[in-house]
Structure 1
Amino acid sequence: MNEKNVFEKIEDSIDSLKISEEEKDKLLKGVLRLKSQKINLMITGATGCGKSSTINAMFNTEVAKVGVGVDPETMEIQKYELNNLILWDSPGLGDGKEKDIAHSKGIINKLNELDDNGNPIIDLVLVILDGSSRDLGTSYELINQVIIPNLGENAKDRILIAINQADVAMKGRYWNFEKNKPEPNLIDFLNQKVSSIKTRVKEATSVEVEPIYYSAGYKDFGEEQKPWNLSKLLYFIVKNTPEEKRLSYIENISSEKEMWESDDELEDYKKETQKSFQEVASHISKNTLAGAAAGAAIGSVVPVVGTAIGSAVGAAIGFVGGLFGW
């Protein structure tokens, strides 16, 4: 017997609520609307930035295998459909002028493609930068000349910039390999890099961006992949996704606990990601109490990334349960 997906679990949870059948019907219709939503995420960057390792670490898939075949680089935009999540893996730039021109045209065409309702197909663009590189010229050209000019007036809401390979940003210096985390000198260096990127993009495009940094880790000679700050990257993506489309990620988030163990500890990104999922409840019902019930229903079936359901979620469910007497 196949395990129920998240929408079926939410429906079951709503069905068990002690509320009127009319209110249940409204909530279930709201879930039905969410079921039809798809999120289209384009992932791009310069050659060698670590797009494939990021995709493989974050999602339950290895469709973007690293280093497989004679020519592992993606030569055209690849589409990967993972239930309601659609990933567009674009080729890396930086392998020659002619290739870059061709790849840029492909990215521009995809960014300008519209769906049947006249809306852009691509919801979000994640631009990954190579933290180990001192020359980000190709990345700036991609961001300033290709991506942002083709995102329309709301470009700041549709572009995310993330610096990968934080572990080798200073050639491996100041990275604590035993604890899999950066030391203060490296954090200062990465923060300066973030500040520089923000300034250069703002000066070139007038768009304000808020880059983050992380390490997707890598597999080498049978070693396990050990990401750092991947939870923050996931939160970064989910929080910037339109609320009604956020549940599209849930079925595809990596189930490997090791992917989510190491973060910068500034915030509990796992819990914050779950809160972002629960905010979807407002799109199930505009009624405050019913919306709270929907939020509890979502919280009851959506685990904190990489862990069991947190106490905060349990408290929320208990509170709403008190309101409805269940």
Structure 2
Amino acid sequence: MHESNIFKDMENDVNSSNIDENTKKKLFANILNLKKQKINLMITGATGCGKSSTINAMFNMDVAKVGIGVDPETMEIKKFELDNLILWDSPGLGDGKEKDIQHSKGIISKLNEIDENGNPLIDLVLIILDGGSRDLGTSYELINSVIIPNLGEKAKDRILIAINQADVAMKGRHWDYENNKPLPKLVKFLEEKVQSVKNRVKEATGVDIEPIYYSAGFKDDDESQRPYNLSKLLYFIVKNTPMKKRLAYVNNTSKDQEMWSDSDEIKDYTAEIQKSFVETIVETSKAGGEIGKEIGDILGMGKTGEAIGRVAGAAVGTVKSVISSVGSFFSSFW
């Protein structure tokens, strides 16, 4: 298992700094704590929703270690380990009543699993809906009857709903294939679908959720995968992840910039993701003493800021703009 470059650079910057040894020890202890953090992300959805294409587009699956759940009830849940990011690829519903019951039991069992610290093993559940389907009854059954009732009191903080296949939501009409984005009529349709999903979940469970829409991108043998709004999806995943665990995504997202190039213009998701990573570094590194200023001096304009831009920037956009945004964000703290 290789060590994330960002942690190496943080340690090197601390080592070469002029701060006192006591502060260095505190910083090294905090960096070590960051390195130990694991994020467990469950991804599920009804049959045909595009889970596999989403996982392959978003994450660096070439280095994944593959396994399955050890509990007989969860044997069909695939486990992918990418350093300290662990993906649980769970079968959804829609394969027949008997299999639906089996899959539901497996999902419930995994959601109720506890880690060594007594906390829920699964940090976040991403539920993918098929944007090209008119009948989302199976998906609502999965969300309202299986997932949310087993997430506990903080269900709102542990669930994300994403509507995939936005490009075929109106049978392929009103999609700008050249620029890979929805035209205004399709945007309106997708926004209404988002609101409908939000309302249905709220009515059934009382939980407020803000769904998003995207396209993982379909490809034939002679075509390249071309997602839309994948950077927005990653942004929402990162923002919903506990702060101390967010750096698990830095080295484990796809380094293919084609995956991240097309998105709506509501926010600069590249910059927002970098801010989340920087926020994690700053807040967790400051723990254990009044050392905020030292972190600013050490990490603010040094190699760590560049490392974030280089490693994560390769996944979500132009490296120069990422480095610039990271530098600006660091300097804004002090």
TM-score surpassing 0.5? yes
Displacement of 1:195 in angstroms is 0.6
Q: Are residue 310 (structure 1) and residue 286 (structure 2) matched?
A: no
On the 8 A contact 2:165/2:217 being kept in 1, the answer is yes
Aligned to 1:94: 94
Equivalent residue letter for 2:283: S
Displacement of 1:221 in angstroms is 1.9
On the 8 A contact 2:92/2:142 being kept in 1, the answer is no
- Distance in 2 of aligned mates of 1:268 and 1:295: 23
On the 8 A contact 2:10/2:299 being kept in 1, the answer is no
- Distance in 2 of aligned mates of 1:63 and 1:175: 34
Cα gap change, 1:3 to 1:149, in 2 (>3 Å): closer
Displacement of 1:21 in angstroms is 2.5
On the 8 A contact 1:279/1:295 being kept in 2, the answer is no
Cα gap change, 1:301 to 1:262, in 2 (>3 Å): same
- Distance in 2 of aligned mates of 1:282 and 1:318: 14
- Distance in 2 of aligned mates of 1:145 and 1:51: 20
- Distance in 1 of aligned mates of 2:36 and 2:249: 13
Aligned to 1:48: 48
Equivalent residue letter for 2:263: D
Larger deviation, residues 214-223 vs 83-92: 214-223
- Distance in 1 of aligned mates of 2:75 and 2:226: 27
Q: CA RMSD in A?
A: 2.1
Larger deviation, residues 245-254 vs 286-295: 286-295
Larger deviation, residues 21-30 vs 195-204: 21-30
Output the TM-score relative to the length of structure 1.
0.90
Aligned to 2:114: 114
Equivalent residue letter for 1:168: V
On the 8 A contact 2:306/2:323 being kept in 1, the answer is no
- Distance in 2 of aligned mates of 1:199 and 1:80: 33
Q: Residue 127 of structure 2 aligns to a residue in which SS?
A: strand
Displacement of 1:220 in angstroms is 0.9
Aligned to 1:270: 270
- Distance in 2 of aligned mates of 1:63 and 1:130: 28
Q: Are residue 10 (structure 1) and residue 20 (structure 2) matched?
A: no
Q: 1:301 aligns with which of 295, 307, 313?
A: 307
Q: Residue 56 of structure 2 aligns to a residue in which SS?
A: helix
- Distance in 2 of aligned mates of 1:17 and 1:318: 18
Cα gap change, 1:95 to 1:310, in 2 (>3 Å): same
Cα gap change, 1:236 to 1:319, in 2 (>3 Å): closer
1:219-242 residue CA offsets vs partner (Å, 9 max, x unmatched) = 212200000000000000001100
Equivalent residue letter for 2:293: L
On the 8 A contact 2:128/2:161 being kept in 1, the answer is yes
On the 8 A contact 2:215/2:229 being kept in 1, the answer is yes
Cα gap change, 1:113 to 1:293, in 2 (>3 Å): farther
Displacement of 1:93 in angstroms is 1.2
- Distance in 2 of aligned mates of 1:294 and 1:41: 32
Q: Are residue 257 (structure 1) and residue 270 (structure 2) matched?
A: no
Cα gap change, 1:22 to 1:236, in 2 (>3 Å): same
- Distance in 1 of aligned mates of 2:76 and 2:134: 26
Cα gap change, 1:145 to 1:290, in 2 (>3 Å): farther
Equivalent residue letter for 1:315: S
Output the TM-score relative to the length of structure 2.
0.88
Cα gap change, 1:164 to 1:228, in 2 (>3 Å): same
- Distance in 1 of aligned mates of 2:84 and 2:318: 23
Aligned to 1:68: none
Equivalent residue letter for 1:300: E
Across the two proteins, how many residue pairs are aligned to each other? 311
- Distance in 2 of aligned mates of 1:4 and 1:210: 32
Displacement of 1:11 in angstroms is 1.2
Q: Residue 103 of structure 1 aligns to a residue in which SS?
A: helix
Displacement of 1:116 in angstroms is 1.6
Identity of aligned residues (%): 64
Cα gap change, 1:294 to 1:236, in 2 (>3 Å): farther
1:124-175 residue CA offsets vs partner (Å, 9 max, x unmatched) = 0000000000000000000000000000000000000000000000011110
